[in-house]
Every structure is written in structure tokens, then in C-alpha cells.
Amino acid sequence: VTLGIRNRRLGARQSLAPPRGRSKIFFLLPLSPAKSSKTDPSLSREAQKFQKSSPLAANPSARPSPRCRRGAGVSRPHPPPAMEAVVVDAGSKLLKAGIALPDQAPGLVMPSKMKTEVEENEVADGAAAVVEEVVQPVVRGFVKDWDAMEDLLTYVLYRNIGWEMGDEGQILFTQPLFTPKALREQLVQLMFEKFNVSGFYDSEQAVLSLYAVGRISGCTVDIGHGKIDIAPVCEGAVQHVASKRFEIGGTDLTNLFAQELKKSNPSVNIDISDVERLKEQYACCTEDQSAFEAIASTCQPETHTLPDGQVITIEKERYIVGEALFQPSILGLEDYGIVHQLITSVSNVASEYQKQLLENTMLCGGTVSMTGFEDRFQREANLSASAIRPTLVKVPPSSPLPKLWRTC
């Protein structure tokens, strides 16, 4: 546990307050180590120093009052330059934040999940019982728990970025495709009323991804943790009529991988966090569908020892994860694969833009880093019936920025 902040609620949300006798305390949940940019090593040292020395970690009852807890008595890195904005990309799995400086990776990459301690005051012996729950502020790209989101942003902006009370700066938020207007308005209200920002702007992820590789027109295929967004962008404007959003993503592929591993290793109980790490390590794509169908007889089994000492065997399961994106029927969906969806989406844009969009196709999200995925995607695109074949935009290897900002 790295931070504890007692929950606050906006006046407009008083009806959501917990029943009498219950109170909530939010903690950041270290599901995986937070990553810090190599360009600012002092940031991670300050965070480690705070973890070890803060009275909040050792004694939760010593938390400061809500009126003064932001920034009170906490050692921080130096605040950002006065005119530099902060960029925040809050995904379902990871939250990335950093200063808007040229060619600089995000200074903070951390899990967006949090742990909640619910205190029950009314128990048989009169003592308070504490129940721990995991809270996910962002679900499939959209904010679902605004109280947890407020506490998460408080930790990010005041304790990591270095904002000071009364001297807040400007902020840029990334927004996924089709974010409801009500959620955008609520975010603006939170930023100005609770964080007193001097300036606020939100931009769609598809536009920012293209900006990162020097383009204002193109088509992005963003495979995130909880959703897939296909967005044609013409001269910096997302074509919403032609865009598509699918409620599947990396978390569904993790669940599929867990099911397949259970079939081949019925006596082994694997935690879902271990499954996710195995997916990142072993998942890959075959060259085409025929190669996938033949893999059952040619795949060599590989053993892996889990952290608890259990040994599992991984065979064709590693290929099913990637194949599900090209054959959604594996996930139980009656739909076309991701390349066909891209071509269909672009075909709904004015004909004079279609060539430019398809020739500037960009893959985003952590799932696209799967071994063999880009090659399989380009191969499927070359075999498509479209008169214009999609061509992938390659991220310059010398720039660490696009990959770090676009994986979530």
C-alpha cells in the first residue's frame, strides 16, 4: 500500500454516500510495480522515500484531515515549469501521467486499480470490522467511480507530479472514442471545482496517437485493456459516423487464455494476475488462419513454473489469444475480424480520404505488441478485397514516447 486517502464526496453526489455506520478509505493498489521515466530518476526516489517514511503507510489513523491533506507534509519532486501542462491518460489497466515536454516519456506509469477498506461499525462485539475490496475507477475506458478517480488523481498530481495547493497548472486529458458528453462534463467540473486547474483540455486518443508520429490524418486501431476503438481521423478530426467501438479487449483475451490453460492443466489453480503475465510472455500470432489450424499437431509444449511452485504446460494456447482478434468466433462473437472491421469503417468515409486513411493505419494499445501481430495484420490486409490495401505506420524506433503513451 503506497497511499491512503479518506474518501471525499461532491455535494452533487450526496445520494451515493455509504449507509450510516460505514466509511470508506481508498488505497492505491500496487498490482504491478509502477514504472518511472529514466529521464527523471528523482521521481521514483521520492516515491520510495515517501513509501518508507510516510506516517500514512505505517499508521492509517494518522491521515491528515480532508481540508489539508492535499500536499500537506509530503516530500515531492520539484514542481513542473509554470507554463508546461500535465498530460494524463487514465486507462482501465494503467494510468500514465507526465509533463508535456518534447520527446519525453510519461514520468509515471502505474495501475489504475485501487483497494478500498470499508469499515463496519456495527458488529456483535462492538469492534469495527474492516472489509477490503478492489475498486476500478475506469472500466472499459470510461470512468465509473468518480470518488476513487478523484483520490487517484490527487495522488498523481500532488504527490508525484509536484503540484502545490493554490498553484495548480494546466492539464490535458486523453479521451477514448465515444466518451459520453455527461462524463466529459463531469471531468471538467472535477478539474475546476476540486483541483482548481488553471486550464483544461481533453482530446481523443486517436488524434493524439497520430500526432505522436507526425500525422493529422490516418486511421487508428486501438486495442486497449477493455475495448477496441477503430477511428478514422481526417485533418485532426475523428470521423465518428465511420468509427467503431467494440466492448472487448486485453482483459477478455486474458480470460480466454485462462480458460484454455485450465483445459490443459486441470489440476493447477492459476491466479488471474499470473495469467496476464503469462499472456504477455507467451502469447503470439500465427502467419495465417491455415497455420493456426495446423498448429495443434506441430506446437512444441513448453513448461513454466508459477511463483507458487506449480508447473504448467503451455502449448497451442499461446496462439489462441492472437487468433481471437482475427476470428472473433473464438470469443463467442458473431462478427468479422479486426482487419475487415477497419476496411468497413474507412469505406464509410468520403472517397477522397479513403486512400490517405488506409495508407496511414496505426496500431495502438498494449495488445498490438504481441509477437507476430503486426505481421499477421499486414498479411491479412494484403489479402483483403479492398482496392486500397491498409499500410501500417511504423513508430520511429528512436522515439520512446508513442509506445509508452499509447499502451494501456
Tens digit of each residue's pLDDT (9 = 90 or more) over 104-117: 888 899 999 888 77
Mean pLDDT of 264-268: 90
* Predicted pLDDT of residue 103: 76
pLDDT tops 80 at residue 313: yes
* Predicted pLDDT of residue 396: 65
Mean pLDDT of 217-238: 95
Under the banding of pLDDT at 50, 70 and 90, the label for residue 5 is very low
* Predicted pLDDT of residue 32: 44
Under the banding of pLDDT at 50, 70 and 90, the label for residue 217 is very high
Average pLDDT of the chain is: 80
Report yes or no: 203 and 175 within 8 Å, Cβ to Cβ: yes
Q: What is the pLDDT of residues 165-188, one digit of tens each?
A: 888 999 999 999 999 999 999 999
Under the banding of pLDDT at 50, 70 and 90, the label for residue 128 is low
pLDDT tops 50 at residue 123: yes
Under the banding of pLDDT at 50, 70 and 90, the label for residue 75 is very low
Domain range 211-248+333-406, CATH class: alpha beta
Lowest-confidence segment of 54-58, 140-144, 199-203 by average pLDDT? 54-58
For the domain made up of 4-197, give the CATH fold. Answer: Nucleotidyltransferase; domain 5 (3.30.420)
* Predicted pLDDT of residue 47: 40
* Predicted pLDDT of residue 389: 84
Write out the chain in H/E/C secondary structure.
CCCEEECCCCHHHHHHCCCCCEEEEEEECCCCCCEECCCCHHHHHHHHHHHHHCHHHHCHHHCCCCCCCCCCCCCCCCCCCCCCCEEEEECCCEEEEEECCCCCCCCEEEECCEEEEEEECCCCCCCCEEEEEEECCEECCEECCHHHHHHHHHHHHHHHHCCCCCCCCEEEEEECCCCCHHHHHHHHHHHHHCCCCCEEEEEEHHHHHHHHCCCCCEEEEEECCCCEEEEEEECCEECCCCCEEECCCHHHHHHHHHHHHHHHCCCCCCCHHHHHHHHHHHCECCCCHHHHHHHHHHCCCEEEECCCCCEEEECCHHHHHHHHHHCHHHHCCCCCCHHHHHHHHHHCCCHHHHHHHHCCEEEECHHHHCECHHHHHHHHHHCCCCCCCCCECCCCCCCCHHHHHHCC
Under the banding of pLDDT at 50, 70 and 90, the label for residue 295 is confident
CA dihedral 307, 311, 315, 316 (to 10 degrees): -60
Taking the model in full, what pTM does it have?
0.75
Percent of the residues in the chain that have a pLDDT greater than 70, as a whole number: 74
Mean pLDDT of 12-19: 38
CATH for 250-329, options being 3.40.1180.10, 3.30.56.10, 3.90.640.10, 1.20.1440.130: 3.90.640.10
Supply 335's cell numbers: 462478427
Mean pLDDT of 222-227: 94
* Predicted pLDDT of residue 27: 52
* Predicted pLDDT of residue 184: 96
* Predicted pLDDT of residue 362: 95
Determine which helix (DSSP H) or strand (DSSP E) holds 201, and give its type and residue range. Answer: strand 199-204
* Predicted pLDDT of residue 220: 96
Supply 69's cell numbers: 491533506
Q: Is 211-248+333-406 in the same CATH topology as 4-197?
A: yes
Mean pLDDT of 132-144: 90
Under the banding of pLDDT at 50, 70 and 90, the label for residue 68 is very low
pLDDT tops 60 at residue 55: no
Per domain, the residue ranges of the chain are 4-197, 211-248+333-406, 250-329
Under DSSP, is residue 387 helix (H, G, I), strand (E, B) or coil? coil
DSSP state of 126: S
DSSP state of 164: -
